Amino acid sequence: MTVTSSQDLLESYAAGVRDFSDADLHGDDLWGSELQGIQLKGANLGEADLRRADLAHASLRGADLSHALLTGANLRGADLRNANLSGATLYGVDLTHARLEGADLEGALLYDPELGRRRRAEQAERLEEAQTSR
């Protein structure tokens, strides 16, 4: 389906349409959108605002997400194979079970405070185990 704006996409999605392959949504605002299972294969989402968007199990294979804002987005189980995420902001993004083979993450800003906490906890556990095994 051809859409010309994020508003068109949201209205069509609400009406049950899920396939928006090759859509041109460059720079559009989809902040906080609920788009689980959407098909955006090969779509242009460069510089789009996808902060806090729910894209769980979405197909974004080969999509252009360069310089997109994805802070707090849910990409759990999403297909991002061969997607362009260069320069994207991915702070606090849930990428659990996401497919990232071949994705371009050059210059992407990645930070997950929960991951940092888990790593510190794991390091503390290893240190404790090493001390008790002596």
Q: How far apart are CA 71 and CA 112, in angstroms?
A: 10
pLDDT band at residue 113 under the 50/70/90 scheme? low
Whole-angstrom distance, CA of residue 57 vs CA of residue 39: 9
Pair 108, 126: CB distance under 8 Å: no
Q: What is the pLDDT of residue 79?
A: 98
Is the separation of the CB atoms in 44 and 62 below 8 Å?
no
Which pLDDT tens digit goes with each residue over 70-91?
Answer: 999 999 999 999 999 999 999 9
Map out the domains of the chain as residue ranges.
Answer: 1-134
* pLDDT tens-digit series, residues 10-59: 999 999 999 999 999 999 999 999 999 999 999 999 999 999 999 999 99
Taking the C-alpha atoms of residue 35 and residue 73, their distance in angstroms, rounded to an integer, is 11
Instruction: Give the CA angle between residues 93, 43, 7 to the nearest 5°.
Output: 85
The third-level CATH classification (topology) of the domain covering 1-134 is Pectate Lyase C-like (2.160.20)
CA 23 to chain centre: 17
